[in-house]
Chains A and B, each alone.
Chain A
Amino acid sequence: MSTAEKRPASAEAPPPNPYEGQRLTGAEAVIRSLETCGVEICFGIPGGAILPIYDALASTGTSIKHVLVRHEQGAGHMAQGYARATGKVGVAMATSGPGATNLVTPVADAFLDSTPLVIVTGQVPSHLIGTDAFQEADTTGIFLPIVKHSYLVTKVDDIPRVFMEAFHLASTGRPGPVLIDIPKDIANTEFTFRWPKRLDLPGYRPTGKGHPLQIQEAALAIARSKKPVLYVGGGVINAGAEAELKELAEATRIPVVTTLMAKGAFPDSHALSLQMPGMHGSKYANWALHRSDLLITVGARFDDRVTGKLDAFAPGAKVIHMDIDPAEISKNRTADVPIVGELREVLPQLTKAIAKLRESDSIVNHREWLEQVEEWRFKYPYRYRRAGALKPEYVIERLRDLCADRDTIWTTGVGQHQMWAAQWLRIDDSRRWITSGGLGTMGFGFPAALGAKLGCPDATVVCIDGDGCFQMTLQELATAVVYDIPIIVAVMNNGWLGMVRQWQELFHDERFSQTHLNAEIPDYVKLAEAFGAVGFRADTEAEVDVAIKAALASGRPAVIDFRVDHEEKVYPMVPAGAASADMIDAGWIEDDNSWVEEGV
């Protein structure tokens, strides 16, 4: 996939609108506006207040495909999966009241993970707003803290402008969800459709180019650094700056850590990749950050799951922070060199500035640092033991290897399986790893996989899920079967809320309070079959490959029930509140980590 294709759809400079000057209802204008903004697919469920818009979906003969889901949360996560896989804006629709509130979780998720979404909700008729009418909720009020922007449409003439602005806001700058709430009477009102000539958003001006003096400053800091690390976040993917990042890393030979959100932004199998830092990150990534003298932060936000105890994080490092969002700079960790701008602009400028310094030979050699990092990477890899019950890490390794020759998009839920997937999958391409990072939404993976598959029909899509997660959104199996969306749900079924169980075991004296789910219930094979999907089960290593191959060959929505060891824990681990260098490990691993205590 070229970077050009990954650019978010922009509503700017639209072609002459074919509906200009026509008499349309508000609802028809919604459909025409969505078409004008380049929407190909949307996800949702109709209901009373949004009936006119669904009617227009049928009556206008629009080219927009609508996917009827089974729960609005599914629609939201599908729109997210679609957006994250394609780089386009995801669209979800719902009716007023409960329809809208069911979208709260995906919208909050999209807000924290900077995913471009436009959400269209029906609202009760204008004259009933505020009367506690049937299925009335203060939708814009409820969504206020979790959207980039929102609209309650009060005049039908505003509809084209509102959609134009919404798609622009969702997809530019730091992307995010935008909500459009449309009262039923407005959707039924006729008006003369006029697409705005231009955007008029005086209060919205995302910064483009980085400040040249700051870039120079950053180049000098890099040139002087003996122990630099590129700390890369999901912003690189949103910016479509993967190639520019790679160029910078290779030109400077600086090791790269990629956060959970950035997996795939830099190839996992690259010689400079240290993979994921943080709570369940690699030792080499965490130690590299800890011992670094310069963090070159690119589209990352010093999340607590990455930093651990903030004042103990990379204590000896100066910080360069590049981000499109000025509010991320010095929010958690003070930046010594802040650079606000589009990463696609900033990164090449920085690479060029460093190249210029190299001409004058004023670059400090950091070969020793690279050797050190390399030694850590060699000596302290991720590890697990294959003895005893089937290990989830083994299953993920087999999934990885059996899909290696395919263009595969991986999605996950949240918990142990997500961390194992992050540790054991090797993702070398951008937008091939879709997970819920910031909000940590259980149930995200399966509907996100459906959205991803609809956006990228030629890709193989595998959701690595937990049994707890899958049960939160598995009703969308009906959607998968009805629309024939062939994806694989690989359930790491340990019968427990595994990550919570792990915390209870380690930090709550093994009081397993309300975390046992029961691996036998439901019977996932029968469940899949009941929905018309195919189901497989694997209890042993020998059965793993058979099940995966059968699911891949089926060409149908498939669920694989992997019965995995419920005592297996995710290691290494930074306990909550600890310094990120102080990782604990499985009892059988006897690494000599004593040097970590020596200080910086």
Chain B
Amino acid sequence: MAREHSHHTLSVLVENQPGVLTRVASLFARRSFNIESLAVGPTERSDRSCITIRVDASEVSIDQVMKQLYKLVNVLKVNQMTTEDSIERELLLVKVTANPDKRGELIHLAEVFGARVSDVGAQALVFEIVEHPDKLESFEELLRPYGIKETIRTGRIAMRRAHGERRDRDAGRMRVLA
């Protein structure tokens, strides 16, 4: 199985109740599913939260992960997000060594990527960028030669694209099984 096929983004809509994140995290630990990134936050409804999970499902099938998630009583919906039908974004903060003579060059590079300068120090700059996670990696790669001191990422979040509510293939498949 090709490596890119083993990584999946799941959007998990849950009831906003105490312990629900623990239940989801515990399920992943219990079933030996690997979480690559996890982001959780409120949604348009105050009684619901969305947990976006990047799963490395090279060892188990993503179907099994989704079905186990559905068994949690507080989980309302699980969507598998694909590049074609959804937007994925992540925020990266990166602190990079920037002597005064390199500042201009770095800031120019950042502009190309749509990153912003969020802090300036004598020997370093902090950039922030919100983009598709793949693009964050390219940005980091280009910064690396300058000397990255620290990076931190929020974990990706994902949303279905706006053009039309496309037929939900994953939901369709789940209906056959469930």
Contact = CB atoms under 8 A, between A and B. Distances in A.
Interface of A: 140-141, 144-145, 148-149, 152, 154, 169, 201-204, 207, 211, 214, 325-327, 329-331, 338, 340
B162 interface: no
B23 A144 contact: yes
18 contacts: A144-B26, A145-B27, A148-B73, A149-B73, A152-B19, A154-B18, A202-B15, A203-B14, A204-B73, A326-B67, A327-B68, A327-B70, A329-B67, A329-B177, A330-B61, A331-B64, A338-B177, A340-B178
B52 to A, nearest CB: 18
A326 B177 contact: yes
A203 B69 CA distance: 10
B18 A152 contact: yes
A204 B30 CA distance: 21
Contacts of A144: 22-23, 26
Given A148-B73, A327-B71, A338-B176, 18 more contacts: A140-B19, A141-B22, A144-B23, A149-B73, A152-B19, A154-B18, A201-B73, A203-B73, A203-B76, A207-B178, A214-B176, A325-B71, A326-B174, A326-B177, A326-B178, A327-B67, A327-B68, A329-B177
A413 B74 CA distance: 35
A204 B9 CA distance: 23
B47 to A, nearest CB: 10
Interface in B61-90: 61, 63-64, 67-68, 70-76
A169 B73 contact: yes
Contacts of A154: 18
Contacts of B61: 330
B82 to A, nearest CB: 21
B26 to A, nearest CB: 5
A281 B70 CA distance: 34
Contacts of B174: 326
Contacts of B178: 207, 326, 340
B19 A203 contact: no
A229 to B, nearest CB: 23
A325 B75 CA distance: 15
Nearest to A214: B176
A413 B16 CA distance: 42
Contacts of B19: 140, 152
Contacts of A211: 176
Contacts of B29: 145
Contacts of B23: 144
A302 B114 CA distance: 52
Interface string B23-53: 1001101100000000000000000000000
Contacts of A327: 64, 67-68, 70-71
B165 to A, nearest CB: 20
A284 B22 CA distance: 46
B74 A203 contact: yes
Contacts of B30: 145
A140 to B, nearest CB: 7
Given A144-B22, A327-B70, A330-B63, A203 B15 contact: yes
Contacts of A214: 176
Interface string B97-120: 000000000000000000000000
A330 B64 contact: yes
Contact of A203 (B26, B27, B67, B72): B72
A176 to B, nearest CB: 10
